[in-house]
A and B are shown apart, each in its own frame.
Chain A
Amino acid sequence: MKKTILFIFLLTLVFSACEKDDICLLPNTPNLILRFYDSTNPTEIKKVALLSVWADGKDTIASYKSVATDSIVIPLNVNATETVYHFKMNSTSGNMADNRHNKISIKYTPEDVYISRSCGYKTIFNDVSITSDNGWMQSFTPSTLITIDNETAAHVQIFH
Chain B
Amino acid sequence: MFKYFISLCFVLSVAIGVAQEQAKDTIVYKTPYGLRIGIDISMPILGLIDSNNSGFEIVGDYRISKNLYIATELGYEKKTSIEDYTNSTAKGSYLKLGVNYNTYKNWLDMNNEVYLGFRYGFSVFDQTLNSYTSNTGSTYFPGELNTTPSTTTGLNAHWTEFVLGLKVETFKNLFLGFSVSYKILLSIKDPDNFKTLYVPGFNRVFESQTGFGFNYTISYTIPFVHK
Q: What is the total of A-B residue contacts with beta carbons within 8 Å?
A: 94
Interfacial chain B residues near A61, Cβ < 8 Å: 140
Residue of B at shortest CB range from A76?
B141
Residues of B in contact, count (CB < 8 Å): 31
Distance of A6 Cα from B83 Cα, bound (Å): 33
Main secondary structure, interface of B, reads loop
Interfacial chain A residues near B182, Cβ < 8 Å: 9, 12-13, 16
| A29 touches B (CB below 8 Å) | yes
> Residue A28 contacts which of B135, B197, B212 (CB distance < 8 angstroms)?
B135
A120 to B116, Cβ gap below 8 A? no
Interfacial chain A residues near B132, Cβ < 8 Å: 112, 120-121
B180 to A121, Cβ gap below 8 A? no
Distance of A83 Cα from B141 Cα, bound (Å): 10
Residue of B at shortest CB range from A2?
B103
Q: Which of B14-22, B47-55, B202-210 participates in binding chain A? A: B202-210
Within 8 A of A (CB), among B184-226: 193-195, 197, 206-208, 210, 212
Contact with B along A75-88 (1 / 0, CB 8 A): 11111000100000
Contact with A along B88-116 (1 / 0, CB 8 A): 00000000000000010000000000001
> Residue A114 contacts which of B103, B133, B195 (CB distance < 8 angstroms)?
B195
Residues of A in contact, count (CB < 8 Å): 36
Q: Given A5-B116, A78-B141, A78-B143 in contact, is the A16-B208 Cβ separation under 8 Å?
A: yes
A21, chain B: closest CB distance, angstroms: 4
Interface centre among A13, A78, A117 (most CB of B within 10 A): A117
B134 to A120, Cβ gap below 8 A? yes
Interfacial chain A residues near B194, Cβ < 8 Å: 114
Q: Given A112-B134, A112-B146, A114-B195 in contact, is the A121-B86 Cβ separation under 8 Å?
A: yes
Distance of A78 Cα from B144 Cα, bound (Å): 8
Residue of B at shortest CB range from A9?
B164
Distance of A139 Cα from B69 Cα, bound (Å): 78
| A55 touches B (CB below 8 Å) | yes
B207 to A121, Cβ gap below 8 A? no
B141 to A19, Cβ gap below 8 A? no
Distance of A112 Cα from B144 Cα, bound (Å): 12
Within 8 A of B (CB), among A31-66: 31, 55, 58, 61
B197 to A117, Cβ gap below 8 A? yes
A73, chain B: closest CB distance, angstroms: 10
Residue of A at shortest CB range from B146?
A112
> Residue B83 contacts which of A9, A13, A118 (CB distance < 8 angstroms)?
A118
Interfacial chain A residues near B146, Cβ < 8 Å: 112
Interfacial chain B residues near A29, Cβ < 8 Å: 134-138, 143
A118 to B141, Cβ gap below 8 A? no
| Interface residues in chain A, defined as those with a beta carbon under 8 Å from any beta carbon in chain B | 2, 5-6, 9, 12-13, 16-17, 19-21, 24, 28-29, 31, 55, 58, 61, 75-79, 83, 112-123
| Interface residues in chain B, defined as those with a beta carbon under 8 Å from any beta carbon in chain A | 83-86, 103, 116, 132-138, 140-141, 143-144, 146, 162, 164, 180, 182, 193-195, 197, 206-208, 210, 212
26 A–B contacts from the bound complex (CB under 8 Å):
A13-B180, A16-B210, A16-B212, A17-B212, A19-B206, A19-B208, A21-B207, A24-B84, A28-B137, A29-B138, A55-B141, A75-B136, A78-B136, A78-B143, A79-B143, A112-B134, A113-B193, A114-B193, A114-B194, A114-B195, A120-B85, A120-B86, A120-B135, A121-B134, A121-B135, A123-B134
